[in-house]
Amino acid sequence: MSADDPHVTSSAVNAGILLDLPRFEGVDPSDPAGTLPPDAKQNGIVCIIGIWPAFPVDTRIDRVEIFIVGNPQFVAWAEYSAADNAPEFRIPIAPLSLPDLATFEVFYTVRSINPTTSPSRRLTFAITPPPQLLKESTFPDANLSGYIGCTKNNPLDPDALFIWEGIRILIPFNDLFRVGDVISLSWRGWRSLNGTGAALTPLYTFTAAVTDVANKKPVLIVIRPFATHIEPMRERDSATAEYLLVRNGVSIFSSFTGLVKIDRVIPGNRGFCSNASWMT
C-alpha cells in the first residue's frame, strides 16, 4: 500500500499511539473542552501537528490523515517530504467536514515507515449569541400607529391581506445578505400592546430563503394559519417578530424586535372578526 496514494484510507485502529496531541488554531491548549473560535462552523478549523519521529530525510513521502472519532474516513490530509521539514505543520479542515455535533474528538495518523497515531483531542463549538445588527421587521398591513384590525389599512395595495388571511412581515434587505442564506423568524403573541407580559401563543418559527441580493428587495414572510398564530390576539394585544440570518446552518446575525399591535374588535360591534362575515 503506497504512502503517497491519496485514495487509500489508513487504518487508525492498527496504528500505534506515538504522536503528539493535535493542536488547533484559536483553541487554548489548557481548555479541556477545546472551545473553537466562533466562526469555526463557517470557516472550518486548522489542525496543528508537531514534526514526528522519523520525518523523511530522503526521497520518502509521509502522509498525514486527520480523523474525527466515529468517522472511519479521514476528513483532511497532507503529504510531506524532506524539503518540508519544519517544527510544526498546519492542515485545514473544511467546514463541511465538521460533524453536526456540539462536541467531538479529533486525532491524526502518520503513514510513514510504521503507521503511528495521536491521542484524541476534544473540540467544542462555541455557543455565542449572534450579533444584533439587523433592522427590525416591518408590517405593511399595519396603520401608522402600528395597529392591524378588521379592515385593510392599505386597500389600494393589491397584496394587502385581511387579518384572517394572514399578517405580512417584511424583512428589510441588508448588504450582509447572501444568496442561499435563510431568514429564521420567531413570532409570538402577547396580552399587551408592547410585546410583554403573558404570552398568548407559543413561539412559532417561519423560514424564508434569500434568493436575490442584486435588487435589494425585502424578504416576505406571511404569518398563518389564523386560528393558531393570530386568533389568540383579540383586543389591545400585540405580537413580536425577531429573526436570525442563518448561513450554512449557523445563525450569524440577529435582528432587533419588530412589534405589531392587534385589535380585532368589529367596528360598532362587541365581537371579534375572524372572517369576512361581519362585513355583509
- CB neighbour class for 141 (10 Å; exposed up to 12, middle 13-18, buried from 19): buried
Tell me how many degrees the CA angle 196-198-202 measures, rounded to the nearest 5: 100
Torsion over CA: 194, 197, 201, 205 (sign): positive
Q: Grid cell 355583509 — which residue?
A: 280
Out of 124, 150, 170, a domain closes at 124
Out of 73, 100, 124, a domain closes at 124
Question: What values do phi and psi take at 98, rounded to 5?
Answer: -80, 145
Q: How far is the C-alpha of 183 from the C-alpha of 207, rounded, in Å?
A: 5
Q: How far is the C-alpha of 253 from the C-alpha of 240, rounded, in Å?
A: 18
Does residue 47 sit within a domain?
yes
223 and 267, same structural domain?
yes
DSSP string covering 69-104: TT-SS-SEEEEE-GGG--SEEEEEE-GGGS-SSSEE
- CB neighbour class for 92 (10 Å; exposed up to 12, middle 13-18, buried from 19): middle
Tell me how many degrees the CA angle 69-75-80 measures, rounded to the nearest 5: 115
197 and 241, same structural domain?
yes
Q: How far is the C-alpha of 148 from the C-alpha of 165, rounded, in Å?
A: 12
Tell me if residue 189 falls in helix, strand or coil.
strand
Does residue 41 sit within a domain?
yes
CATH code of the domain in which 193 resides: 2.60.40
Q: How far is the C-alpha of 28 from the C-alpha of 20, rounded, in Å?
A: 16
| Bridge pairing between strands 76-80 and 88-93 | unpaired
Q: How far is the C-alpha of 243 from the C-alpha of 254, rounded, in Å?
A: 6
Does residue 29 sit within a domain?
yes
67 and 103, same structural domain?
yes
Domain with 64 in it: 16-124
Tell me how many degrees the CA angle 156-272-152 measures, rounded to the nearest 5: 5
190 and 109, same structural domain?
no
Cβ atoms of 227 and 272 within 8 Å: the answer is: no
112 and 26, same structural domain?
yes
What is the number of domains present in the chain?
Answer: 2
Q: What is the pLDDT along the chain (280 residues), one digit of tens a residue?
A: 333 333 334 444 445 557 899 999 999 999 999 999 988 988 999 999 999 988 999 999 999 999 999 999 999 999 999 999 999 999 999 999 999 888 999 999 999 888 899 999 999 998 778 899 999 999 999 999 999 999 999 889 999 999 999 999 999 999 999 999 999 999 999 999 999 999 999 999 999 999 999 999 999 999 999 999 999 999 999 999 999 999 877 788 999 999 999 999 998 887 999 999 988 7
161 and 210, same structural domain?
yes
Does residue 9 sit within a domain?
no
pTM: 0.65
Torsion over CA: 235, 237, 199, 245 (sign): positive
Q: How many CB atoms lie within 10 A of CB 184?
A: 17
Does residue 6 sit within a domain?
no
141 and 33, same structural domain?
no
Cβ atoms of 89 and 64 within 8 Å: the answer is: yes
Out of 60, 94, 124, a domain closes at 124
Does residue 11 sit within a domain?
no
